[in-house]
Chain A
Amino acid sequence: NAGVTQTPKFRVLKTGQSMTLLCAQDMNHEYMYWYRQDPGMGLRLIHYSVGEGTTAKGEVPDGYNVSRLKKQNFLLGLESAAPSQTSVYFCASSYSTGRGGDRDTEAFFGQGTRLTVV
């Protein structure tokens, strides 16, 4: 049972470098999400996707880009990393009931990527 898999698990970047975080889910879920977790602030939604080929902004999208070219993958990119982007990043996915909305369905989370920008 792989579920939601994130790579890499740890990364240290220098300011101005770029990188891509990969999220893969094997549950055929329609929806995918990227959150960041910071001390004292809980998790905040960065971007999300309601289906293959679609993306939308969440609460804190600045400095990040995403792509969902395949249903099972959701990529988070940092074009020019800044120290303020030091955080733990979580990917999540959830399924569609086919009845619209789907606000109550369970979100399944990956184990997280700890990113440090120096």
Chain B
Amino acid sequence: GAVVSQHPSWVICKSGTSVKIECRSLDFQATTMFWYRQFPKQSLMLMATSNEGSKATYEQGVEKDKFLINHASLTLSTLTVTSAHPEDSSFYICSARDQRGMQFFGPGTRLTVL
């Protein structure tokens, strides 16, 4: 089956620092990847859609300058949380869309900002 990995699985950082999260499709090429945010006991909220080689499309209310997304290859997308603050603490999940249009999710990254 299609496998999506994320790195790191968890990260703790100080307020004001930037954090980069990687999302990789391991056994398929993904022209489109997605970044979601999930708060405890809540649903997944789409932050942005990332297309290989082009700028990401952000959902309404998501600050593009704060959440920088780069999709440099067909197997890698990165999310950088810039100048992180405690309110950015959350579970960040990526997904990758295969050629059949199915989305496969990564295991998530737990970000804690102190």
* Chains A and B are bound partners: no
Which B residues are within 8 Å of any A CB, using their own CB? none
Task: List residues of A whose CB falls within 8 A of some B CB.
Answer: none
